[in-house]
Structure 1
Amino acid sequence: MERKEFLKRGFGSLLGIAAVAPLIGACSSSTIDPVTTTGTGTGTSTGTTNGSSSSDCAVSPSETAGPFPTKVPANFVMKDIRSDRTGVAFTINITVKNSNSSCAALSGALVDIWHCDKDGYYSEYGGSGMQSVNYTTVDFLRGRQTSDANGLVSFTSIFPGWYSGRAPHIHVHVYNSAGKSLLVTQIAFPYDISNTVYTTAQSYGYTKGAQDTKNESDNVFSDSIATELATVTGSLSAGYVLTFAVVVSA
């Protein structure tokens, strides 16, 4: 079954069944006008302002964790999640805010993230189905951090690639300090930034070309991009920095 069709048929509802995870292969509608980037790969694109004030404080959309969630998140308490993966340098800054406290920063939250490598593959999965390459025995691009007094967690990574049927994205799972799940969501990237990486960063190993699915036609983001789009700044040579606020009800 093709990856895009598989996702459209609502695989997210099956994620609670642990037995299916090892059998699976690899990993809204507002149009955002992109900021033009230069030929050197330098640019800035501004994402959602959700969570920026008490009057703009909706809980972030809940999204599917799969089909490639981290199997044992507690094993990945680390800031640098690159492992052996190479690509354009990417810093991921996520601030967790509490909708029940007028979007005040939420400290002590456990934040798990995971995303694919530059070729579109996830660790912990593969060998069948949607991901032909078998990465079931290795771990990369998965991490956990605890939010500080400002609600911030930060990860050192590489700019994710893409795979057919999905726009580029990062998965995020937020728990409270006691380990209670608060939200599973996903983060989208501004198209102009990702397109720059995919079409001009061949020397960094990005050889697939432009993504085949944009945010507005993505199965996950088509109805929620207004609150799931990150701000991304930087360049190919200096690396990119992603900034995003996740709003939870804690």
Structure 2
Amino acid sequence: MTRERDTPTPRDTDPRWLDANGDPIDEDHRGLVYDVQTLVNRRRALGIFGGVALTSLLAACGATAEAQTTPTATATATPTPTPTPSNTPSATAAASGPLTAVPDETGGPYPADGSNGVNVLDDSGIVRSDIRSSFGSSTTVAAGVPLTIALTVRDAATGTALAGKGVYLWHCDQSGNYSLYSKGLENENYLRGVQATDANGTVTFTSIYPACYSGRWPHIHFEVYDDVATAVASGPIVKTSQIALPAEVDDTVYATSGYEQSIRNLAQISLQTDNVFGDDGGIHQIATMSGSVASGYTAALTIGV
């Protein structure tokens, strides 16, 4: 039987691999020289292929690395300008998170809210920010170191500012006496006033620094109502409490003329022994102070109700 010839390759035409009849000798019988040459040729081919493959691989890696190291633009929010602080402290209307509710305290014996005799809340003129003078039949102005009182009312559960709340605030004068009650002051109504909280939940009263009278730490009374209309109608009270004034400012103010009795009274009392603030040292009721005797002080307090 005649075997079909394979198509000759260039290597098959080499006379070394032809038999006497000119036909190609089978590769298995061409000897050691042929095998060595074949092995060398294959290694060269593999070397060329490997070089091409390596070059392609490096190029691919380079492209990948470049893709990985190319910075990606990140959207940056436009910064919101920080508002310039004003001299009068206030809080933002945004919720600040839960805060401890201010303790309920006594309104004391001189509230003038109708619960103990006289009622100033239904008098025309009680809604005001400057409470230094009497109004109505008298215009007497209370003497003392100027004090601005900034009270911010927030929801204790959420921290949200409570706008439109009615706040009634009152305190004693430079001598430790209360208008409408103390002897000789029955016809005076200074150092008392009502205001509505603004959008930030804040009310600001212009007043004078109260004295320290015997048996009590220096303090300021306040009542919070649902609104001003409820306050002037002596309606339901949401919160009754007190503001404590810090010792370091008390000492400075009481060293000035007109507060002589307060120096002695303050030396006999502390926040821990006071019958109102003694439970916790007034930790949730101590005002934050700024200012001076010459320029006047500001007492700021945020309360939760």
Fold shared per TM-score above 0.5:
yes
State the AA in 2 paired with 1:79.
Answer: S
Task: Name 1:111's counterpart in structure 2.
Answer: 167
Cα deviation 1:122-162 (Å, max 9, x = unaligned):
00102xxxxxx331111110010000110010000000011
> What's the counterpart of residue 87 of structure 1?
144
Q: Which ranges of structure 2 fall in alignment gaps of 5 or more residues?
A: 1-94, 113-118, 134-140, 231-235
Secondary structure (helix, strand or coil) at the match of 1:105 reads coil
Q: Detail structure 1 runs of 4+ shifted over 6 Å in the superposition.
A: none
Give the one of 155, 172, 184 matched to 2:222. 172
Residues 50-96 of structure 1: per-residue CA shift (max 9 Å, x gap)? xx9414x1211000011100223243111000011011010000001
User: Structure 2 residue aligned with 1:220, among 276, 293, 299?
Assistant: 276
Partner of 1:158: 208
- Higher normalized helix content (fraction of residues): 2
Indicate which of 202, 207, 214 corresponds to 2:260.
Answer: 207
Q: Give the alignment of 1:1-250 within 5 angstroms.
A: 53-55=96-98, 57-70=99-112, 71-75=119-123, 76-83=126-133, 84-100=141-157, 102-126=158-182, 133-177=183-227, 179=230, 180-199=236-255, 201-202=256-257, 205-210=258-263, 211=266, 212-224=268-280, 225-248=282-305
1: CA distance, partners of 2:251 / 2:162: 33
Q: 1:53 to 1:111 in 2, by over 3 A?
A: same
Following the alignment from structure 1 to structure 2, what is the Cα–Cα distance between the partners of residues 77 and 108? Answer: 13
For residues 80-129 of structure 1, give each alpha carbon's deviation from its aligned partner in whole angstroms, at most 9, with x where no partner exists. Answer: 000110110100000010124x1110001000000000100000102xxx
- What CA distance in whole angstroms lies between the structure 1 residues aligned with 2:293 and 2:216? 23
Q: Is the 8 A contact 2:152 2:301 kept in 1?
A: yes
Q: CA offsets, 1:148-177, max 9 Å, x none?
A: 110010000000011100000000100012
2:259 alignment partner, SS class: coil
Larger % of strand: which?
Answer: 1
Q: Where does structure 1 lack aligned partners over 5 or more consecutive residues?
A: 1-51, 127-132
Query: Is residue 74–residue 144 contact of structure 1 (8 Å, CA) maintained in 2?
Result: no
Q: Secondary structure at the match of 1:208?
A: helix
Distance 1:190 1:146, change over 3 A: same
Contact 1:58 1:247 in 2 (8 A): yes
TM-score by length of structure 1 reads 0.71
Q: Secondary structure at the match of 1:121?
A: coil
Could you say which residue in structure 2 is the equivalent of 1:45? none
8 A contact 1:109–1:175 mirrored in 2:
yes
Q: How many residues are treated as equivalent by the alignment?
A: 186
